[in-house]
Structure 1
Amino acid sequence: MRKWISFGCVVLLVSVFFTGCGRRPPTMGKEVFLYVSLGNTNGCVGSNYDLLTNAGIVDDVEVKDYLDVPTSIQIIGKKVYIADKYRGVISVFSSGNFGKAVPQMEISNMGEGYAFETVFQVAVNKYGEIYAVASLTNTNVYETQGATNERENYLIYKFTYDGRFLYTIGINGINTAPMPMPDFIDLDLFGNLYVYFREDRAGELYWKVKRYSSSGELNFEFDSQYIAKKHEIDGEMYQSELYGIANLKNDERLIFFTANYLFKNQGDKGNQLVGYRSILEMYSILKNTVSRQLLDEKQRMEDVLGITADDTIVLYGYDEKYRVIRFHFYDMFKNQHTYQYAPVLSDYYANFGFYLDQNGELYSLVVKENKHYILLHWKKKNQTKVFE
């Protein structure tokens, strides 16, 4: 599971009409799933609070505006895995009574056979094995020419379910080429690790994907520069940009989200944007081709939140009309769409985004009073009908 982006800057142009004109859609209830204190000691979650106060930012409102906490989280059943970039550890908690966090394990930044400085991302496979993206800067890392590399290097570390180190991917590990900072990592149910890199090349967005087996061997690479930059839609040629990508869990396929723009010459005004389509497609790794179109919308598609263990795609976006967050569950095999809605929490808490577990349960990460790290579980309503 991955957290894609905090929601503040997503604009979704959606008109949703419900039975009973003027009534807001029914929103999910919520309960506290995990409640942890912010701090720098065992059993706490780190933050930049001390950095802010040392810089003279002490007003609670200002702190809320600048507060940062670890946001790479994996939720497996009652367990929560956190890549704590401020404390430099991988923390594992279980959800106790009323959401009280029960510390289960911490993987420190140094142990037998490994060391890292800052941990940024975490993912957990079906066996409970832990993958972490972390940085390492030291004079013991060398370039191929033998010169000392003082740059920050990114590596992927793998640990057993009980925290024993297995191997690294990156410099001085398996597949020892230097690795840039991944945008995110994900897993499938076959034990493969997917590492995603987003690159800006001369002002254009490209994605690179590297897939590693459970033993750390590279077994697939993909670069979106080889995907066609044009889509023919209804007889018109649209300029395409791949803005989102994900992997299925039960099938060796990727999911592409493309933004497609139709420009036409408008005389003195030159080329003008006259059409737009969002397209969701399935890409076969084995066949190295786009194998199926899933969705085609004439507006900005919601952002992907994640994909469940049964390969239901979950999208989300802000509904401007009703001022709620809409979650769109798309079962591509049944071609079935269901929806859930959540109120906006940012007026009450520092809100750090939404999360999805493998079973399709929804969560929010919030911070209360700049002191408490809280994971909220959203209690789904029965299927909500939407008329678009």
Structure 2
Amino acid sequence: MMRRILIANRGEIAVRIIRACRDLGLTAIAVYSEADRAALHVQMADEAYCIGPAPAHDSYLNIKNILTVAIEKNVDAIHPGYGFLAENANFAALCEKENIKFIGPSSHVIERMGDKAEARKTVASQGVPTIPGSPDIVPTVEEALDIAKQYGYPVMIKATAGGGGKGMRVAHDAKEMKTAFQQATREAEAAFGNGAVYIEKFIVAPRHIEVQIAQDQHGQAVHFGERDCSVQRRHQKLIEEAPSPFVDDVLRDKMGVAAVQVALAVGYEGVGTVEFLVDADKNFYFMEMNTRIQVEHPITEEVTSVDLVKEQFTIARGDQLSVKQEEIQMTGWAMECRINAEDVDKDFQPSPGTITSLLAPGGIGVRLDSAAHMHSVISPYYDSMIAKLIVTGKTREETLIRLERALREFQIEGVKTTIPFHLAFLQREAFRQGNYDTSILE
């Protein structure tokens, strides 16, 4: 039985998990850094324990301190959220060793799918399309040049570990390759402690489409349709929507079947996401698998009426999935804007500080996932996201109108935010018509 759940995270995702614990009658145990002593997730939890100083590597990435709390407080399971240790195979393995349930897939699956080069080989063996590129990691720039010559420029150099757009560079010719290769390996080493990279053919102006999946311990897997995550800045998502205005029923079924096939092939357990690039001719290619809950999971929840975080708990305790594939229908439309503490006029520079005034939007079809409130401190030590504004409607047009209204209602003072950017972007005719790809912001 799972009764005592430690949440190895902070911010809005920690709050989101605590709410799911409440709905299931579980005890929510928070951990926090010294900088987060007064944070909302700490106030909401049944119990809360400090795990170190403000820097993430001393607290939220400090495996020893987190497991010490878990063992001393008789925790049954750990929910990692997203980011931090959510896709750390070593952390999952140590949880397994201590007989603490890691709410997510096994350490073996995390390791296998976290290594992007290995994941591509695994997926290709199942007949799922992959982007043409190197079969393994590429250790030298000389080999990278040979591969680029084979497939033709432009190519993408990608870190085999990690995510979030780090360790990724595009090279349009041999001269750019030499610089980009060095930059990608250095950045990957700094961000993930692993500088290994591989090479892919760069798909020009694709859509970034991801498919939400879930698989239980009984080998049953389903997908919940797609999300369009093509509005990005430097590979960081800013606006997501479900369903995608680009994806038709035929493509949706094909990608859904492929995503489930990937989950079944690796013996997945839990909720996860299979990400694809889709070209203008609707050819899709596997990009990577995220073995965790995604930041943008709420829009899938809104159009399918399935609580994905509760589903994680259901799967982790050994129950069968709460829904069958034929019961999952996408109804209506949903969009999510990430509201970050960033100064858009200064190239999205982080804007840490204290929120001195906050007026949240409301009304029918408006959901706000956030840990922020008046006097909240937006710390320079962590991600700058303040809130996720999720809006739903019967149609895409109604959703766009409601989203604009909600953004105009949303008032935050004390820090700069991306609200003005979102309001301006919504006026882009290409986006309003659903005619966009990953290059729209560039």
Question: Normalising to structure 2: TM-score of the pair?
Answer: 0.30
Decide which structure has the larger Cα Rg and report it.
1
TM-score, length of structure 1 as denominator length: 0.33
Structure with more of its chain in helix, by fraction: 2
- Of structures 1 and 2, the one with the larger relative CO (CA 8 A, separation 6+) is 1
Structure with the higher fraction of residues in strand conformation = 1
